[in-house]
Structure 1
C-alpha cells in the first residue's frame, strides 16, 4: 500500500480593512459553480478543482455556521509539456502539448470561517504561499488581505514575558513587499529597498545592543511581531535575551503551528489529492486547541 508524508502549514486570513469574511463568501459562490474561477499568475493558471463543505462540529445536527471548506487548488503550467514513462520501456508519452494545456499539480487547503484559519498542504511544485495569497486576493477582488503565520501561543507568551532582549535576528526571502516597511531610511524598509535594487533573493538582518546593554524591550517586541505578521516570507526569526543570568533564544519561525501525517492510499493505488482532502480534516481537529488559543490571543 502506497503512503506519503504530508506536511501542513497554518495561517490566519487577515482583512486589513473591514470585518466581512470575503473569502468565505467567495468560496460559497465557487461551490455553486460548475466551472470555477481561473486566476492567471505569470504562466500558470490557478483554479479550485474540488471543493467540499463539511461539518465543523459533528455533534451539531445543522451545518448552519458549522462548516469548514476543504478544497484542492489546481496549478496548471501552460508553459510546459508533460511526459509519462514506463519502466522497462525507453519510449515516452507526451501530454499537454497545446498552448492552453500544461502539467497539473494539486494543493489541498482547509478554511475555517469561524476562526479565519487556513491550513495549506506543503507541496513542492504546487501552490506556494505567495501564490495562495495572490489567488485569494484575486478571487476576493481585494488587495487588503494578508496571510499571517501562526506561531505556537506558548512561544508568544515567552516573547511577551522575556525581560531583557540582547539581539534580534531575522531573514526575509524574496523581499519584494514594501507595504509594511514605509520608512525610507536604512531601517527594515531601507534594507528591503536595497535588496530589491541589488536583485537579492534574501535579506538577513541582525539588530544587537552594545556589550552590557540591551535593546529597548517594548519596541523590540513590537518589531518582531510586525515582521512575523507582515506579508514578508520570513525564513528566520530569533530573539536572544536573558532571564536573570540565564540566556534564552526564542526561535519563533521553528515554533510555527504545523502538522504532519502519513497518508495512505488504497491497495494498488497512489496517494492523490482525494486522499489528502480526507486527511487534512484530521490536521484541523488535532491542532484545534492550538488554533483556538492562537485566535483568542491578542498578538499585537
Structure 2
C-alpha cells in the first residue's frame, strides 16, 4: 500500500510525493513538525505503524508491536513539548493504545482496558479550575476540572460501546462513558462554552453529548437512519427561515452513512436544525469524515 501528497494549489493536482512500505491498506495518517523536520506517520491493516520524512521521502521508523491492524495514529505534542520526546500514539484492533518513541525506536507505554477493539484515540489536556483546555485537535482534545495526574489525557473510543479518558503519565483510566448501544466511531472535545463536553457518533445511529465533570450524558440526538461516522462542534452560523439559530458555540454537526450531514442545537435534543443531503443511495459510502 502507498499514500500520496498532491499539490492542491495547482490546477494540475500534481503528485509531489509517494510513500511505499505498507503491504495492506492504510487506515490513518497524521502530520507534524519535529525539530524543523516535516514528518508523517501512518497506521495500517498490516499491523504496522510507520514514520516518514517528507523532505527526504524516506521511512524514518516502523513499529511492529501491534498484533492486529492499526486503526488510528497521532503524533503526541504533549511528549514533545513536555519532555522533548518524539512520540506517536496508535490504537489497534488488538484492544491496546501504544506510545512509540520514534527517535529511539522503542515502545514507551501501553493502555489496554477496553474489552473490545479501540477505534480512535485523541489527545486532550485537563486543567485546574479556571484554566482552559489544550485542544490540539489531533482529532480530539479536551479539558475539564482536573481529576489527577499532570492534566494531560488521551481519549479512546471502542467497539465495546464505551468512551474512556486516560491520564497519559500514569496510564490510568479517569472517566468511563457508557450509553451507546453499538460501536462508538468518533468523538470530539468541546471548546469555549462547551469545554467540559465530549461529542460522540455511533453505529447505533445516534449522536450524544457528554459532561466530562459528571461523567454523564447530556443529550441524545436522533435523526440519522444509518451509522454516524463523524461529529464536530460547528463554527458556522446556521440559518433557518432567515433566522440565525446558532453561532460557534451551540451548534454541532454529524455525518452518516445515510448520506446526510445534520446540524443540531446543542441546547436541545429536538429535531435537527438543518440537513444537507448527500449524493448516491443510502449505505453505499456515506459521509465518513469532516474537517473544517
TM over 0.5: no
Structure (1 or 2) with the larger CA radius of gyration: 1
Question: What TM-score, normalized by structure 2, do the two folds share?
Answer: 0.25
Question: What TM-score, normalized by structure 1, do the two folds share?
Answer: 0.25
Higher share in helix: 1
- Which structure ranks higher in relative contact order (CA pairs < 8 Å, sequence separation ≥ 6)? 1
Higher share in strand: 2
